[in-house]
C-alpha cells in the first residue's frame, strides 16, 4: 500500500559568519571602457561572479558583457576578505563592488562633464554611453570618456570596502547585533511512502525564499534547487557506514547521492523583501536553501504514515522498521496525522543515547590552523594589543569542537579560531573581552545535552566547557 503526505518546514538564517567580516573590491577600466573586477572570494559554483558583474554593470552604466571578474587570485585581488562562506558573497562582497563602482563612475562623470560642457548632475551613463538628461549635448561613447579620464596615465582604478554590522554593541550585555540581516524560507513537499518496502518517493516541492531583491533569478533558483538536492540526500540516502574504524562505503557506487531522477518538480516562490543595507536590496540564498528540506521531508513521512523518523537518513529500512514497531508488522495505517509526539517516540519516549564525536583533524574557524592562530595571537601581542585565549577543556555529547580547540580574541573584538558553534561563540568572545579588561580568568559552560536538545527540537546539542584567560 502507498500513502501520501505533505510536510512543511520553515527556517531563518543569518547572512555571513557573524561579527567582523569585511570585504574589499578593486575595479579597473581601460581605454575601451572594458572593466575588470578583482575580488578575493572565489566563485565556487554559486554564480557569484555573475552577480558581482551585474552589480557593477548597473552601477557604472555599461553592458554586462564589458565586464571581466577575477575572483580568488591572490596575485591581483585585495587581501581583505573573509571568503566564500556563510552565504556572504553577494551581500558583503557585492556591497564592496558597488562602492568601488560608484567611485569609478564619479571619475567618468567628471571627465564627461569636461567633454560635454554640461553640469555633472545632467550626465547619465547608460549602456556604455554618456548622455545629457536634457538632450541638449550630444552623447559621448564611454570609451572616449575613459580615454580622456586616463590622460595617458594608464587604466582607471577604484576601490571599495564594506564592513557589515559587527559585534561592537555585544561586548557587555550580550544583546548587540551579531549579524547584519537574515533570510527566511518555507519549503513544502509531498511524498509517497510504500508501507510494504519503506521506500519514500518525492512527488513535488514548493520552495518560498526571502533572499532580498533578486539580482539574477536563474542563479537563485539554481542555488535553491542545489540546496534541495543536498537536503534530499541528507534526508533519505546519504550515510557514511563505519565498522571498526573502517568506512564500508568509500565510493560513490555505494554512497548514495541523489540524482536528477530523485529530485521532484520544484515550484519556486520569490519573496523579495528588499534589504536596505544590501547591494540593490539583495541578501543571500546559498546555504539557507539546504536547511528546511530534510525537516519538511520527515514531516511529510509522518503525515503519510504516522511515524517519526528521528535519525537521518530515513532509509527504507528505518521507515519500515518504524511502521512495524508502531502498527505491529504492517497493520492498518491511518491517513493523515498520527497521535501526539510523545507517543510516537521510540523506547517509550526516551531520547537516543548521546556519544562523543571524534574529529580526525582540527580545523579552526575561518579556515585557520592552530599554528596560524598562534601566529596571529603573537602578532597582536607584539602590537601591544590586549589578548585573551579561550580553550575547550571538556565536551559532552555532540559538541561541534573537540577538546583543546582555541579561540583568540583581541581587545578590538577581532578573533581567530573556534571553540563552538555560532550561538556559543558570541558569548565566549564577550567573556574574552571582559577578561582582557579585568584580567580575571573564567571557566564557562555552555549548551545542553543531546537528550535535551532532541526533546525540544534543537538542531544541535552537546555541552562544552571553556577556559578563558588574558594572555600576558
Taking the C-alpha atoms of residue 460 and residue 450, their distance in angstroms, rounded to an integer, is 8
Taking the C-alpha atoms of residue 99 and residue 159, their distance in angstroms, rounded to an integer, is 7
Q: How far apart are the first and last CA of the chain?
A: 70
Q: Show the beta-strand stretches assigned E in 58-126.
A: 67-71, 123-126
- 232: nearest Cα among 268, 270, 200: 200
Q: Which three cell numbers stand for residue 115?
A: 567633454
Taking the C-alpha atoms of residue 190 and residue 413, their distance in angstroms, rounded to an integer, is 46
Question: Could you say which of 190, 221, 275, 287 is catalytic?
Answer: 287
Taking the C-alpha atoms of residue 444 and residue 203, their distance in angstroms, rounded to an integer, is 48
Residue 221 Rama label (left phi>0; alpha psi -120 to 50; beta): alpha
Q: What sections of 278-413 are H helices per DSSP?
A: 293-305, 316-327, 341-344, 370-382
Taking the C-alpha atoms of residue 170 and residue 337, their distance in angstroms, rounded to an integer, is 43
317 tagged catalytic: no
| Sequence-distant (≥ 6) Cβ neighbours of residue 456 within 8 angstroms | none
Q: DSSP 3-state helix, strand, coil percentages of the chain (rounded to 5)?
A: 35, 25, 40
- Degrees, nearest 5: CA angle 252-255-256: 95
| Residue found under cell 509526539 | 341
Cite the active site residues. 287
Amino acid at each position: 500500500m502507498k500513502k501520501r503526505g505533505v510536510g512543511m518546514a520553515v527556517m531563518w538564517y543569518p547572512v555571513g559568519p557573524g561579527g567582523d567580516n569585511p570585504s574589499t573590491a578593486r575595479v579597473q577600466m581601460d581605454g575601451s571602457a572594458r572593466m575588470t573586477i578583482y575580488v578575493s572570494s572565489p566563485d565556487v559554483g554559486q554564480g557569484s561572479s555573475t552577480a558581482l558583474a551585474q552589480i557593477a554593470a548597473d552601477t557604472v552604466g555599461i553592458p554586462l558583457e564589458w565586464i571581466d571578474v577575477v575572483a580568488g587570485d591572490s596575485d591581483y585581488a585585495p587581501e581583505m576578505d573573509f571568503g566564500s562562506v556563510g552565504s556572504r558573497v553577494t551581500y558583503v562582497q557585492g556591497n564592496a563592488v558597488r562602492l568601488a563602482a560608484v567611485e569609478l563612475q564619479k571619475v567618468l562623470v567628471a571627465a564627461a562633464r569636461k567633454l560635454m560642457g554640461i553640469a555633472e548632475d545632467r550626465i547619465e551613463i547608460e549602456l556604455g554611453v554618456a548622455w545629457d538628461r536634457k538632450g541638449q549635448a550630444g552623447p559621448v561613447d564611454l570609451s572616449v570618456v575613459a580615454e580622456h579620464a586616463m590622460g595617458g596615465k594608464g587604466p582607471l582604478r577604484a576601490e571599495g570596502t564594506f564592513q557589515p554590522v559587527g559585534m561592537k554593541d555585544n561586548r557587555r550585555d550580550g544583546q548587540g547585533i551579531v549579524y547584519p540581516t537574515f533570510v527566511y524560507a518555507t519549503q513544502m513537499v509531498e511524498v509517497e511512502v510504500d508501507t510494504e518496502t519503506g521506500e519514500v518517493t518525492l512527488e513535488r516541492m514548493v520552495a518560498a525564499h526571502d533572499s532580498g531583491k533578486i539580482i539574477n533569478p536563474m542563479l537563485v533558483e539554481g542555488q535553491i534547487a542545489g540546496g534541495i538536492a543536498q537536503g534530499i540526500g541528507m534526508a533519505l540516502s546519504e550515510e557514511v557506514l563505519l565498522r571498526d574504524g573502517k568506512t564500508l562505503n568509500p565510493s560513490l557506487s555505494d554512497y548514495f547521492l541523489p540524482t536528477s531522477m530523485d529530485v521532484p518538480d520544484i515550484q519556486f516562490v520569490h519573496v523579495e523583501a528588499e534589504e536596505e543595507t544590501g547591494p540593490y536590496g539583495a541578501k543571500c540564498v546559498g546555504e539557507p536553501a539546504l536547511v528546511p528540506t530534510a525537516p519538511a521531508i520527515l514531516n511529510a513521512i509522518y503525515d503519510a504514515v504516522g511515524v517519526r523518523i528521528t535519525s537521518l537518513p530515513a532509509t527504507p529500512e528505518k521507515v519500515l522498521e518504524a511502521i512495524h514497531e508502531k502498527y505491529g508488522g504492517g497493520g492498518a495505517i491511518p491517513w493523515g496525522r498520527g497521535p501526539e509526539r510523545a507517543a510516537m517516540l521510540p523506547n517509550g519516549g526516551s531520547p537516543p543515547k548521546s556519544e562523543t564525536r571524534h574529529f580526525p583533524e582540527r580545523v579552526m574557524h575561518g579556515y585557520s590552523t592552530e599554528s596560524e592562530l598562534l601566529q596571529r595571537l603573537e602578532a597582536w601581542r607584539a602590537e601591544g594589543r590586549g589578548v585573551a585565549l579561550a580553550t575547550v577543556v571538556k565536551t559532552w555529547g555532540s559538541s561541534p569542537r573537540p577538546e583543546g580547540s582555541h579561540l583568540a580574541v583581541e581587545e578590538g573584538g577581532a578573533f581567530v579560531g573556534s571553540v563552538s558553534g555560532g550561538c556559543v561563540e558570541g558569548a565566549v568572545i564577550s567573556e574574552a573581552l571582559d577578561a582582557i579588561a579585568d584580567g580575571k580568568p573564567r571557566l564557562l559552560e555552555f549548551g545542553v545535552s543531546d537528550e535535551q536538545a532532541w526533546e525540544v527540537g534543537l538542531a544541535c546539542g552537546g555541552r562544552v566547557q571553556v577556559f578563558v584567560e588574558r594572555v600576558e
